[in-house]
């Protein structure tokens, strides 16, 4: 259990803002990438990297560390921003996102970036890795925890449900998955493209402890993470209701911002909305 204090919430909230600013800077500079889904998950990632997880940037390969798997690997800018902010590598590196020779690939590569626990990007695979990692902890009797973040479009992949079934079968109570439920995918609203609803019922039917939170409310996310620590014998899914593009008014709930980056003007406008005038 971690203590939920006003100052902790304040700190996480301030980090979430920084992550959003960095995402916009990175994507503006890169000229391509996934803006909407990086912004929608920022509060979840801020809670994990600046409150919940037992990690040490000085020992990025420690066997006892908690693991995080970005199953929705296209939100790589968010992960990189969190790792740099946490001190895994210099923040100046962030502006090399998607450039030739950069460790910051379009999707996360664990062989290139300290702190990246899994190479992901092909949807559905990350949650399967997370199950394997949680199994490894059980086999070795280690008490590290494994976290993963899924997109709500991602769960249309069949592999997700193979992994979800296995996590329950193997009683992986050291595994916590977040669902970034922003309701949009590349081709449109998830309910129009291929509805995965009702998502909570599905996870419940697969035997998971199923919690729902406002994905931009840090206290609720923290409370759910603490609740997950009390669950024995099964994994936990935290379904986070989110807004795609959260924090930039002209991006919010707009499907066009799934896979596009802001131009110069849009970058300035977005940063201004996030409290930065550059």
Query: Footprint of another protein on this chain (CB under 8 A)?
Result: 63, 67, 69, 109-111, 117-119, 121-122, 124-125, 127-137, 139, 158-159, 162-163, 165-166, 169-170
Shortest gap between Cβ of 136 and another protein (angstroms)? 3
φ, ψ of residue 67 to 5 degrees: the values are -115, 150
* Helix, strand, or coil (residue 67): strand
End-to-end CA separation in angstroms for the chain: 40
Shortest gap between Cβ of 167 and another protein (angstroms)? 10
Which one, 24 or 237, has the nearer CB to another protein? 237
Any idea what the Cα angle at residue 246 is, between residues 28 and 229, rounded to 5°?
A: 115
Cβ 75 vs Cβ 149: under 8 Å: yes
Shortest gap between Cβ of 86 and another protein (angstroms)? 19
Cβ 21 vs Cβ 271: under 8 Å: yes
Which one, 111 or 264, has the nearer CB to another protein? 111
Which one, 40 or 125, has the nearer CB to another protein? 125
Shortest gap between Cβ of 175 and another protein (angstroms)? 10
Using CA atoms, how far apart are residues 155 and 209, in angstroms rounded to an integer? 17
Closest CA to 1 of 236, 225, 238, 231: 225
List C-alpha distances in Å: 227 to 11, 21, 165, 243, 262: 21, 30, 21, 24, 38
Which one, 13 or 125, has the nearer CB to another protein? 125
Which one, 28 or 121, has the nearer CB to another protein? 121
Shortest gap between Cβ of 186 and another protein (angstroms)? 18
């Amino acid at each position: 259990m971690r203590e939920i204090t006003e100052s902790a919430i304040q700190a996480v909230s301030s980090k979430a803002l920084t992550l959003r600013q960095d995402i916009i800077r990175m994507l503006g500079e890169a000229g391509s990438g996934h803006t909407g889904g990086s912004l929608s998950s920022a509060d979840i990632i801020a809670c994990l990297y600046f409150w919940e997880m037992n990690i040490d940037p000085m020992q990025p390969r420690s066997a006892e560390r908690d693991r995080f798997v970005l199953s929705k690997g296209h939100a790589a800018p968010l992960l990189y921003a969190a790792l740099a902010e946490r001190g895994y590598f210099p923040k100046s590196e962030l502006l090399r996102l998607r450039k030739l020779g950069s460790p910051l690939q379009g999707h996360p590569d664990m062989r290139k970036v300290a702190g990246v626990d899994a190479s992901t990007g092909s949807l559905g695979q990350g949650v399967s890795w997370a199950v394997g990692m949680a199994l490894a902890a059980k086999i070795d009797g280690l008490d590290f925890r494994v976290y993963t973040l899924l997109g709500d479009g991602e769960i249309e992949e069949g592999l997700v449900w193979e992994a979800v079934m296995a996590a329950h079968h193997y009683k992986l109570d050291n595994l916590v998955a977040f669902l970034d439920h922003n309701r949009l995918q590349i081709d449109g609203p998830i309910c129009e493209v291929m509805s995965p609803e009702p998502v909570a019922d599905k996870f419940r039917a697969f035997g998971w402890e199923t919690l729902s939170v406002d994905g931009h409310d840090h206290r609720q996310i923290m409370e759910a993470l603490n609740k997950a620590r009390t669950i024995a014998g099964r994994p936990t899914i935290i379904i986070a209701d989110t807004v795609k593009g959260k924090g930039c008014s002209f991006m919010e709930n707009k499907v066009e911002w799934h896979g596009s980056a802001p131009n110069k003007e849009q970058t300035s406008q977005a940063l201004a909305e996030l409290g930065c005038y550059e």
